[in-house]
Chain A
């Protein structure tokens, strides 16, 4: 049954050609471009320049994306945990309805939302002042690295939560109920029984978010213009203002390395899991 080998190759050819021409080829172009100067001579000069100009921004990017990933993990596990272990059906229903709102909000819209929400006179500060939690004079703008982190967490948490909560819903309830009956607290059940079983799903969600945050331009460019800035902003600057593809590609190479590192951690864990499964 099904198409023969020849027909299969024919059927897949247009899609494959498109992916090769419009992704793999420019990807290779960017890798090669990182190691060549303007005349096409092989060099490490681009990396030297990237190091001189942007080492602080690289650390800044790692810090922002790392912190965001960590916060996304904590919040998505908390929401998923409450949806799985919570007592109040009403609260669970409201939470389930609430958390997904930012899921399909485009990044550029999220950035604009946060620009008005987190500004000095934005809704967040105004609400704090209104509730008497803060004086008007104390109000400060969050439109810097904190704004970027808040926007990333706001936008990406629903995505990871959807995956995590889905995996948690698919778990075998009997171990959870048994632990609860033996008197284990809900927090302990979450951390020691539920989370270890959905670790893989959580890791996949976090890595996909990590990659996404590493390539979003609109959020850092709209929220915080000042230095230090994120690598995406630096790459756009090298291209649009200086026309310097070499350094931009070197920075691109660095961002591939960072996401590659994140994926490598995941794969190492996955392989270790498999080996344990075999020896058990």
Chain B
């Protein structure tokens, strides 16, 4: 008797967790779906063809989004690997304040900040440019990349570096041949995270990029608002693929126990 109750509760939970995603999948293959039909009256992949047509605007948005996410990841890595190394190993004046500055973008609601970035960017003609959107995404990604890089460098046993120095390796050589390879898994995890955050970002792109820069989330929004539910649903499913892949991968990089230690 007890297991019936248990199975029932799990089924209800599963319905609420997976139902919304399932509904989206149905919409993506619904060619005709009118009220009060409970399921589409005509199924098919017609809208997938529309989205994946090489000249279509959806593909254009997808490639643009991927391009922006790649640039954002590159910018974040270039500045946060040295920063993380300095925070973990170096002698920095006011270290706690510096750490706090890198935490602030996560501690404040960022929409009012984006509004003002757009206002500042207006003077420099950066609104509606890829560079402008990348900068907005990068400052958001910086929180994760700096903190994770710092943690990754801090976790390395300094004696390993000391040993390399003792046998005559120079400082830079020690860094590139001992320290960096050891920190790499953490840095890769942060890069994936920054990439995904950029790919999914909506608010910043909305204020700084729109209407010239139509990333996939912005396209999804206007398709949804315009009543093209199928197009919006397919774009949403495309956005979901990397997210779900990452969820399956993240187990290996970020354990719940590690997440629990953050913020302590």
**A contacts, CB < 8 Å to B:** 1-5, 7-9, 11-12, 14-16, 18-20, 22-27, 29-30, 33, 88, 91, 94-95, 98-110, 112-117, 120-124, 126-127, 129-130, 136, 154, 162-167, 169-170, 198, 200-201, 204, 208, 211, 214-218, 221-222, 232, 235-236, 239, 245, 248-249, 251-253, 255-256, 259, 263
Q: Are the CB atoms of B17 and A255 closer together than 8 Å?
A: no
* Majority secondary structure, B binding face: helix
Question: What distance in Å separates the Cβ of A28 from its nearest Cβ neighbour in chain B?
Answer: 9
Q: A105-B240, A166-B259 are in contact. Are A4 and B20 (CB under 8 A)?
A: no
Main secondary structure of the interface of A (DSSP, over half): helix
Give B178 Cβ to nearest chain A Cβ, in Å: 12
CA distance A145 to B73 in the complex (A): 36
Residues of B within 8 A of A239 (CB): 115, 118, 207
Q: B15 near A127 (CB under 8 angstroms)?
A: yes
B115 engages A123 (CB within 8 Å): no
Q: What B residues does A12 contact at CB under 8 A?
A: 82-83, 86-87, 90, 92, 98
Q: Check A169 against B217 for contact (C-beta < 8 Å).
A: no
Contact of B236 with A by CB under 8 A = yes
Contact assessment for B104 and A162 in the assembled complex, using a CB-CB cutoff below 8 Å: no
CA distance A126 to B38 in the complex (A): 6
Q: Are B83 and A25 in contact (CB under 8 A)?
A: no
Residue B129 CB within 8 A of the other chain:
no
Contact stretch, chosen from B44-52, B55-63, B133-141, B181-189: B133-141
A101 to B104, Cβ gap below 8 A?
A: no
Q: Does A154 contact B20, Cβ atoms closer than 8 Å?
A: yes
CB contact between A163 and one of B38, B158, B236, B260 (< 8 Å): that residue: B260
Q: Are A252 and B111 neighbours in the complex by a CB distance under 8 Å?
A: yes
A165 to B82, CA, bound (A): 33
